[in-house]
Structure 1
Amino acid sequence: MKTARRHDIDWLRVITIALLLMYHIAIIFQPWAMFIGFVKSEQPLENLWIPMTMLNVWRIPILFFVSGMGLYFAMRKRNWKQLIGERSRRILLPLLFGIVAIAPLHMFIFQKFYSLPLGYYPHMGHLWFLGNIFIYVLLFLPIFYLLKHREGGKFKQILNKLMSNPFGPLLVSLVFMLEAIWVKPQIYSLYAETWHGFFLGGLAFFFGYLLVYSGQHFWDTVKKWRWGYLVLALALYVVRYLEFQLEAPGYLMALESNYWIFGVFGLGYRYLNKPHRILGYLSQAAYPVYIIHMFVMYFGALLILPLKIDPWIQLLGIIVFTFAMCYLIYELLIRRVWFLRPLFGLKGKQKMVTAKKVLVNKP
């Protein structure tokens, strides 16, 4: 089954991973950074956290939404055995490699930074996201294939009609609000290795698939009402900032999160659903960069934070170092060394050559 390439979803994956890097770098300059396992600057930039809290309620949920959407497109041309095999190579293999060889690197630098006894132990670190995704694939695949085989059924027709109304996507938010009420997370944006993060991620992954499955009306709706969703999200953020010192009740933060996400989807569909010569490169690089960015960022902090310079210059230096080094490691090593490619979720070189030949030979 042929499905048109959704360039906006590819762009959003790239952009949200870039924002994730910026967010993690900002944590270095917060006074509580060490308590969550980050290296910490002795010159904090606490005001930097104000805009970051606007980002933190939707930065991870939107990645789960996008991952669910990606599974929809992957299922168009694979049966369930092929899909599990492909997802095992693309997610499980990099996760296992990351647990033993990547995540321990940034913990080693953390120990070095604080002059702690050096020790090695395998752990997921920031790669918890991949573990969640793989579990969601296994959990939801039976439901998704059932839906796939009933593409013309009444459920899809009802869903598509529901999403033609601007309030349709907001009904999705009710489920996320109920999750927050049920789980009662102390800190809404604490997703890593928490039950809140697991359930929230599962909902976002499930509805990401469902929203693409529902049909065209969802995309037309978020495109038309994108500014309305963003205004409502901003209003809830202002209330959170003024009335709740940035940590509002979970159900309000869930609602704000989804407003941001639907607004961003609308912006993406309106302005980014077009091919670009660098999109293919960035889309392929985003996943390996996500895997390696933590130890690169920590190493940059190890070099730059001891310098007696303005903290804003330190921030800029770590940003430039992290993005530049991630690019060089990807371009010179991960992308070019055949046995590294599958460890970072990339296709083998032979498969890439075959795919390129198919594209070149297409009429």
Structure 2
Amino acid sequence: MPAAASTDRRYDLDWIRVIAFGLLILYHVGMFYVPWDWHVKSPQPVEWLEPVMVFTNPWRLTLLFLVSGAATRFMADKMSAGALTRSRVARLLPPLVFAMFVIVPPQSYYEIVEQIGYAGTFADFYPRYATSSGHWCDADGCLITPTWNHMWFVAYLLVYSLALGGLLALARGRIAAVQKGLEQALAGPGVLIWPAAFLILLRLTLAPLFEITHALVDDWYNHALSFSAFLFGFLIAKSERLKAGFVAWRWPALAVALAAYGCWAGYAWVYRGEGAVPPEALRWAGRVAYGLDQWAFIAAALGFGARHLNRGGPALRYLTVGVFPFYIVHQTVIVVAGHHLARAGLPQALEAAVLIAVTFAACFASYEIVRRLGPLRPLFGLKGGVAANAGASTAAARA
């Protein structure tokens, strides 16, 4: 049976991308409260949030890289490798540079205010931030600036897009054959087994050797994971056979995902904290559970998305374009608002509700302003010109 070609509209992937970015924003709000290290912290850490945060930890960003790869496929099929490369640089590089010098600095400022007691003003801080002349260190190391913080995702996506452009220049004609090979290998339960086996292998081999740093040059486990997901999304984006496979196996995928999450979350809870050292055999079992959790949730999301999220509409058109500006501004809003709200003396539940509301309100407000101002649009990942609510909502146009 030959592989069927899909259309250029994948509403399900658009919805998955929007939902995943929404979860990411909530996750970063949670980072303010969970006991883990972050830029700024609530003075009242909430320990029970750890299993909640662990729920999306293994798969959220890997899913975003996969969907980004799929979006790039729809673009690549309409242009040359050189044109694709130029398009991705124009779309991703200006927001990255702009964010590093305008959006991210308040995060670093409040980080050193809280963590090392920096007493200078932001005006004192910024020239040293921008020129890499600051010396802000504690027992865990020094803050190196300028930094990209949460914009690491965009930096990596840019690098992966450049690498893909090179691969397309060399071997574009092999895409159909590779897609067919994947369809054969992932037939039936293979859609769950083989990607999970690959992620487990990475978790067992590279993860113990290379801590995730988001520093690009030394982040080898993260590159193996994220670039593989990006390429996988690119290769399967137009496969109707694999889309049907995800739909067919969505319920088993969800069952495996929930079971693996229970194992991984239990392991992470029991052995949380610096002094908790699990037996080596249990550590390996935890890595297996993590890899199963990672792929099973992604497969379930792709299956349920293809089955139920296959319609567009005004809300999707708006959000599909808006999530990139949302992503750019959200973490700075959380850091600044969280720092000041923690000093307002509000009950913590109310404080958290206000922080969530302020974050989403600032995201929507920023997007509403930016999309109306032509010169600002490229700095927030939007196409040039003022196109307030007009715009495509296909996965082809979204990274």
TM tier relative to shorter chain: 0.7 to 0.9
CA distance in 2, matches of 1:251, 1:192: 23
Q: What does residue range 208-247 of structure 1 map to in structure 2 within 5 Å?
A: 208-213=233-238, 215-243=239-267, 245=269
1:157 Cα deviation after fit: 2.8
Provide the residue aligned with 1:338 in structure 2.
Answer: 374
Deviation at 1:245, TM superposition (A): 3.1
Q: Aligned partners of 1:28 and 1:256: how far apart in 2? A: 24
The 1:301–1:3 alpha-carbon spacing in structure 2 relative to 1, beyond 3 Å, is: same
Is the contact between residue 93 and residue 158 of structure 2 (CA under 8 Å) also seen in structure 1?
Answer: yes
**Equivalent residue for 2:53?**
52
8 Å CA contact retained: 1:106, 1:298: yes
How big is each residue's C-alpha offset from its partner over 1:142-192, in whole Å with a ceiling of 9 and x where there is no partner? 434666434554x4333223333122342122222222222134898x563
| Structure-1 separation of matches of 2:229 and 2:360 | 28
Measure, in 1, the Cα distance between the counterparts of 2:32 and 2:13: 29
**Equivalent residue in structure 2 for 1:348, among 368, 380, 384:** 384
Shift of 1:2: 9.2
- Quote how far apart the aligned CAs of 1:202 are: 1.0
Q: 2:185 aligns to what?
A: 162
Contact kept, 8 Å, 1:105 with 1:295, in 2: the verdict is yes
| Distance in structure 2 (CA, Å) of the matches to 1:257 and 1:68 | 17
1:22 aligns with 2:46: no
Name the CA distance, whole Å, in 2 between partners of 1:158 and 1:186: 31
> 1:201 and 2:226 equivalent?
yes
- Does the residue aligned with 1:346 lie in a helix, a strand or coil? coil
- SS of the residue corresponding to residue 184 of structure 2 reads helix
Tell me, in whole angstroms, the C-alpha distance in 2 between the residues paired with 1:59 and 1:117: 37
Deviates more, 1:239-248 or 1:87-96: 239-248
Give 1:64's aligned residue: 65
Residues of 2 paired with 1:158 and 1:356: CA distance? 35
SS in structure 2 opposite 1:208? Answer: helix
Q: Answer yes or no: is 1:311 the counterpart of 2:348.
A: yes
- Cα pair 2:66 2:230 within 8 Å, conserved: yes
Deviations 1:300-322, CA, capped at 9 Å, x for gaps: 21332112222121111100010
Task: Decide whether the 8 Å contact of 2:41 with 2:339 is kept in 1.
Answer: no
Where structure 1 has 5 or more consecutive residues not aligned to the other structure, the ranges are 358-363
Decide whether the 8 Å contact of 1:166 with 1:222 is kept in 2: no
Kindly tell me: are residues 151 and 12 of structure 1, through their superposed partners in 2, closer, same or farther at Cα, counting changes over 3 Å? same
**1:270-285 to 2 correspondence within 5 Å?**
270-285=307-322
Structure 2: gaps of 5 or more residues: 130-145, 272-282, 393-399
User: AA paired with 1:27?
Assistant: M
Shift in alpha-carbon separation, 1:201–1:158, aligned structure 2, 3 A: closer
Letter in 2 for 1:338: G
TM-score (norm 1): 0.88
Whether the 8 Å CA contact 1:99–1:123 is kept in 2: the answer is: yes
Cα distance in structure 2, aligned partners of 1:148 and 1:133: 20
Amino acid at match of 1:263: A
Residue 99 (1) aligns with residue 103 (2) = no
Give the aligned partner of residue 128 of structure 1. 152
Give 1:31's aligned residue. 35
Contact 2:324 2:381 in 1 (8 A): yes
| Aligned AA (1:47) | W
Contact 1:160–1:216, Cα closer than 8 Å, also in 2: no
Other-structure match for 1:84 = 85
* Alignment match, 2:396: none
Alignment CA distance shift 1:244-1:116 (3 Å) = closer
Structure 1 match to 2:334:
297
Amino acid at match of 1:167: G
Is the Cα–Cα contact under 8 Å of residues 64 and 201 in structure 1 kept in the other structure? Answer: yes
Seen in structure 2, the aligned counterparts of structure 1 residues 14 and 191 have a Cα distance that, compared at 3 Å, is farther
1:192 to 214, 232, 236: 214
Mapped to 1, the partners of 2:256 and 2:6 lie a distance apart of 37
Partner in structure 1 of residue 364 of structure 2? 327
Residue 361 of structure 1 is matched in structure 2 by: none
- Structure 1 match to 2:164: 140
* Identity across matched positions, percent: 30
Query: How far apart, CA to CA, are the structure 1 residues paired with 2:258 and 2:28?
Result: 22
What is the rounded CA distance, in whole Å, between the counterparts of 1:199 and 1:97 in structure 2?
Answer: 28
CA distance in 1, matches of 2:23, 2:315: 18
Q: How many residues get paired? A: 348
- Alignment correspondent of 1:257: 294
* Residue 237 (structure 1) shift: 1.3
| Counterpart residue number, 2:118 | 116
Partner Cα separation in structure 1 for residue 73 and residue 51 of structure 2: 35
CA distance in 1, matches of 2:347, 2:119: 30
Relative to 1, partners in 2 of residues 1:246 and 1:138: Cα closer, same or farther, differing over 3 Å? farther
